[in-house]
Structure 1
């Protein structure tokens, strides 16, 4: 019986159930195990608490000023409609004024369409960004809570002996993350940069700006026998890693 429970807990069905991505059959199985086995129920409650903490720590705010821009566009639209009505009344008495009002409305309408297009595009970009962020949070949640995830401690060499990081690799879900916990000070104009060598190709993962807490994870591309590097680079001169300035290796 214990083996049966262990096999179930080694899957990611509990995580998928919490995130609402299980099939109907998987949902029935998860709910049956939660109801029947206290060990499963305890693990489920712990994962639920962890997910709530993740949701709080990654709550997103809408871009500053977006609400005001949307309200301003709506007001402009209503204002345009009122102006058109006023010009239409005057046009019934003066044909020339009617022509001027028509042209004015046409120009205003074009401007309004452009403004609406800008706002619509901004909302779409925001939605896409939120979707990507939520997907990243979901992957981090799985990596940190799945028993099949492997954990590697990464220490810096003599050039950065105070550097410390932890890499998380899940070969089943093919997900890799690194949490940089401590960074030594650098000279002005220098920075730490993250790289990954995947299938013989070097990928730039960006500058490590600062060390973070345990939930601040940087995604790494997953591949068998991949290698990650942290180097010291000059700011603005980091198109390729400087081999002599490698301060940490991460084999995963």
Structure 2
């Protein structure tokens, strides 16, 4: 269908129709295309406006008898000049049409390339997240099922007596996890935060929540004679642990 419209627009039928030089059959075809296809209708409208603008720009009051002299002069000109003028109009219109179409498709291609890049980036991020999750599941399975894994019970101090947790440490695979079984309720402006001291450096392990899945494990940084802490911090967490608010120590 697009090829059919393209071939029609490349012909000089629209220009001939505007100049009233088409046959009855050609006029019927032009009118049918204008009614059926928006591209043809738009091209005809633009060509009609261009011709009207040209006529207005060069319209002047004609001297008496000038019209008759012009008509006789045109009739005496070679038919080739008339055809050349119509082809020039058609060629100009075709050039404008293809220039616009080229820009449209170029712009569409640029947008598609940007969207494709965004989709590829999202896929890469998802693949990395999935790989990390699978690695974490594998490590948890090793820690829970390896006979060399050691368990450490963690109980809260006087500030959080009901706090219960179990730390799992496997020195062979160098993996450490903690399972927080119970967290006492805190005011809304406070939260529990976990820390680990590994090789002399304090690592923030994030805010602890009361997980619905009581078997969920949280990864701990592994280190020789590592220490862990659970503190009470302002809601949203803290950048450094509040020592006086330590509610549990984890030696693993």
What range is the shorter-chain TM-score in?
A: 0.5 to 0.7
Q: In angstroms, what is the RMSD of aligned CA positions?
A: 2.1
Task: Give 3-state SS (helix, strand or coil) of 2:232's partner.
Answer: strand
Partner of residue 203, structure 1: 203
Q: What do the CA deviations read for 1:71-103 (whole angstroms, capped 9, x no partner)?
A: xxxxxxxxxxx99x8997687562211110000
Runs ≥4 residues deviating over 3 A = 85-93, 211-215
Partner of residue 118, structure 2: 118
Alignment of 1:185 onto 2:185: yes
How far off is 1:158 after superposition?
Answer: 0.6
Indicate conservation of the 8 Å contact 1:153/1:167, yes or no. yes
Partner of residue 13, structure 1: none
Indicate conservation of the 8 Å contact 2:193/2:237, yes or no. no
Indicate conservation of the 8 Å contact 2:193/2:206, yes or no. yes
Superposed, 1:209-224 pairs within 5 Å as 209-224=209-224
Query: Aligned partners of 2:231 and 2:141: how far apart in 1?
Result: 28
Larger radius of gyration: 2
Query: Aligned partners of 2:113 and 2:217: how far apart in 1?
Result: 41
Task: Give 3-state SS (helix, strand or coil) of 1:147's partner.
Answer: coil
Query: Aligned partners of 1:235 and 1:89: how far apart in 2?
Result: 71
Partner of residue 245, structure 2: 245
Query: Aligned partners of 1:132 and 1:163: how far apart in 2?
Result: 29
How far off is 1:214 after superposition?
Answer: 4.7
Query: Aligned partners of 2:186 and 2:229: how far apart in 1?
Result: 17
Partner of residue 105, structure 1: 105
Gaps of 5+ in 2: 12-93
Q: What do the CA deviations read for 1:137-196 (whole angstroms, capped 9, x no partner)?
A: 000000000000001110000100010000000011000000001000001110000100
Gaps of 5+ in 1: 1-81
TM-score of the aligned structures, taking structure 2 as reference length: 0.63
Partner of residue 175, structure 2: 175
Task: Give 3-state SS (helix, strand or coil) of 1:172's partner.
Answer: coil
Partner of residue 230, structure 1: 230
How far off is 1:236 after superposition?
Answer: 3.2
Indicate conservation of the 8 Å contact 2:191/2:236, yes or no. no
Indicate conservation of the 8 Å contact 1:90/1:98, yes or no. no
Indicate conservation of the 8 Å contact 1:180/1:212, yes or no. no
